[in-house]
Structure 1
């Protein structure tokens, strides 16, 4: 399985495979048609507090926020994570879609890191 990350503001393409929006809020200004989302996994998104912290200083506190998100995935979002794993198993290509501007320091990168060993 190939797991990719892509901003919601980039054009969807056939190569994206199964597209999963992993934000709690729908990206501003992006139509449902343009987004071409197959699954909106709100339950896997960072908590409101963590989302605010990530937006405030995405680079400066990345490791701190990443660790907080991993802890959230292990505890609060564990059922949502398991549901997502079951939904994604067997799909050849999955793209995690997110709204943050920073393409290197965001929750999609952390979620992909958590999902890879679970999806084999």
Structure 2
């Protein structure tokens, strides 16, 4: 009999599968500067779909927390720059939180820009 996956493991697998199919590769002729500029411009509409798992802990609607015994920061309405920097710091390990590190590492640079664009647009 197989044991069911934990919620975190299930989410990580789901995000990895989604990220692998949703990433748009940069054009072959793109230089590093143009690729970075493209990633810097986030698409809020696309980011909305990518934030599905964020809502489980950060609870964007009403900022409800699934885990009332520990602090989860409000991310809706934060600065786009702040959000993008935070996600990149989780990705590189500068910020330490195992779940957030796994989440950030599962997304492309463009995904992170899109997520930051969407979350910053919330009021």
TM-score by length of 1: 0.35
Higher helix share: 2
Higher strand share: 1
Instruction: State the structure with bigger RCO (CA 8 A, min sep 6), 1 or 2.
Output: 1
